[in-house]
Amino acid sequence: MKKIVVFILFTMNLALGQSVTLQPGTNGFVAIPIVNSLNTCSVAEKGNIKYLSSDNQFYTCNGSIWSILGTIALPFQSSAPTFTGYDGGTFKITNNNPTGEGIAINATFTGIDGFALRAMATNTNPTSVSGAIYATNASTNSYGYGVSGSHSGGGIGVEGYSSSGKGGSFSSNTGIAGYFSSNSGHALVTGSGKVGIGLNPLAKLHVGGAEAEKLRLENTTSLASNVSNELYFKTGDYFTGGIKTIGTGSGTARMSLFTYASGDSGGLLERMSISDNGYVGISNSSPNAPLQFSNSLRNRKLVIYEAVNNDHQYIGIGLNSGIFRYQIDGTSSNHVFYAAASSFTSNELMRIAGTGNVGIGNSNPTASLHVARGTGGDGTAAFSGTTHASHFNYSTSEHTFIRGGKDGANVYINDLGTLGNVAVGNGTPTEKLHVFGNLRVSGTICNTSGAITACSDVRYKKNFSKIENPLSKVLAINGLHYDWRIDEFKENNFSKSRQIGFIAQELEETFPEMVFTDEKGYKSVDYAKLTPVLVEAMKEQQKMIEELRKANGDLKNIHEKLESRLDKIESILNK
């Protein structure tokens, strides 16, 4: 016997006030059998309904005979009776089975064209809620549906359309208002191909609204299970990127960015990670600092500016084995360190030029180390010892000072005996201290061994001439005792001892070659130059002595001759 599952709108011509009870089948469906003939009606069949196909009539059993229940016309067209609320209607089937599975209406349609269930509300101006189909489900758990529709082909399970209102409207007090599922087609799509949540969409998916939280990806599994939330991007057949959160608990959770062209999402590589404490790792999934790179060695670790795409012509930071690189893109570029002077300007502190010259307080270093003059009390450079510092300074008066940092401290140059010589002036030193030029000493030169000499090799000299009248010139100068004006010239460190020497201005009149005048007009005497003058004066004096000695000898001979003659005269006279 065939059964038809009634899931179409129909009417039964019942007398007003007549009621009919439909018995559910064992599978929960209300089934009306289709028969070719009717047998004797039994008491067990009382209340059953059968459809006789030969006369297109519904029959009901009263316990003894089958009687015509009414006629049916397909498709059905009729006026609906007046009703209040949602409890009335042309046809109503209710399933009040409190347990197990039950369906109020279930219909199967196998025709080419048609509808298993179709309803239309023709009121064009309703004053209250108007629905072509209205379904509710009183289930309080998560296994009930108000309306459920499915389609086995490529069609539409449930379709909603409105020319001006809402194509579909969903509402729920506590559960899920709308649920969309599709094995192969679109779960939800608008007519323009764009989906908007909270606004009219301008993109394939456009989420808006006043709420701060717009999108949430939530995995309800415990974090200790190391589960993740994942969002992937795919172009053609390849996954090209993804965002993923993963972790086993507080302090280990992280969000990571993945890239790489891969045929499956598992082939993407983790490129950047943000840990639970806010640390960021670049190619490092476990950063231990606010920003941490991988431990790989690369000339280009961080690029701020790239002149050419290679490992050298860039400005940034690199890392080689045992080397931390500060890289600039060429010899015309500079490493410069600044400090803010105000909100409008910065002061340059130090510059390392691309040529290798270093400038401290100097933006154009022309030497390997070019330091601007210091302005503090410690001078241009200070070199700290245990408790004191030695200083180097270039003063505002353009003088250069090198001094020890402690009273009585010595300044040593080439203090090891195996080292070379020291030159003052431009030349090649041949002694431990070799001064090319004049040397002025305010104090005593103490020679503990050896001799203090001056260059005198004939090979150094030319244009020789005799010193004229050396004795008279020596007689013209005066050697004097004197004391230094210590209080007036403290910078010269004059001795407090009684001195002996010449007056430079007086000596200059006779021997200008012995007197030197400095840039301030003060005069000094080269006492060593007096030595050859004194030698020549002594020679001149010795010549005079020799001449006097010769003259004295002559006088003595004359005297002796006179005495001899006198003796002879005296002897003659005495005879």
80/215: higher pLDDT: 215
Going by pLDDT thresholds of 50, 70 and 90, the confidence category of residue 492 is: confident
**Helix, strand, coil abundance in the chain, percent, nearest 5:** 15, 25, 60
pLDDT given at position 72: 44
pLDDT given at position 557: 86
pLDDT given at position 97: 64
Q: Residues 340-360: what's their mean pLDDT?
A: 95
Calculate the average pLDDT of the chain.
Answer: 82
Q: Whole domain around residue 91: which residue ranges?
A: 1-186
pLDDT digit string, tens, across residues 360-410: 999 999 999 999 988 877 888 988 888 888 888 888 788 888 888 888 888
Q: Is residue 310 part of a domain?
A: no
Last residue within a domain, chosen from 166, 186, 206: 186
Q: Is the pLDDT of residue 83 over 70?
A: no
How many whole angstroms separate alpha carbon 280 and alpha carbon 254? 10
pLDDT digit string, tens, across residues 454-478: 778 889 889 989 989 988 899 999 9
Q: Is the pLDDT of residue 502 over 50?
A: yes
pLDDT given at position 182: 67
Q: Is residue 173 part of a domain?
A: yes
**Would the CA dihedral through 125, 130, 131, 132 be positive or negative?**
negative
Residues recorded for the chain: 575
Average the pLDDT over each of 22-36, 140-154, 398-412 and give the range with the smallest value.
22-36
Q: Is residue 206 part of a domain?
A: no
Q: Is residue 390 part of a domain?
A: no
pLDDT given at position 102: 66
Bridge partners of 327?
A: 316
pTM over 0.75: no
Taking Cα atoms as reference points, which of 70, 62, 51, 87 lies closest to residue 11? 70
- Which residues lie closer than 8 Å to 349 by C-beta, 6 or more apart? 337, 338, 339, 360, 361
Q: To the nearest whole percent, how much of the chain has pLDDT over 90?
A: 30
pLDDT digit string, tens, across residues 4-23: 333 333 334 333 333 444 44
Give φ, ψ of 299 to 5 degrees.
-60, -40
Last residue within a domain, chosen from 186, 211, 239: 186
Going by pLDDT thresholds of 50, 70 and 90, the confidence category of residue 334 is: very high
How many whole angstroms separate alpha carbon 169 and alpha carbon 177? 9
Query: Into how many domains does the chain fold?
Result: 2
Q: Is the pLDDT of residue 547 over 90?
A: no
Q: Is residue 91 part of a domain?
A: yes
Last residue within a domain, chosen from 127, 157, 186: 186
Q: Is residue 347 part of a domain?
A: no
Judge contact between 515 and 529, C-beta under 8 A. Answer: no
Q: Is residue 354 part of a domain?
A: no
> 3-state secondary structure string, 192-218?
CCCEEECCCCCCCEEECCCCCCCCCCC
Q: Is the pLDDT of residue 74 over 90?
A: no
Q: Is residue 285 part of a domain?
A: no
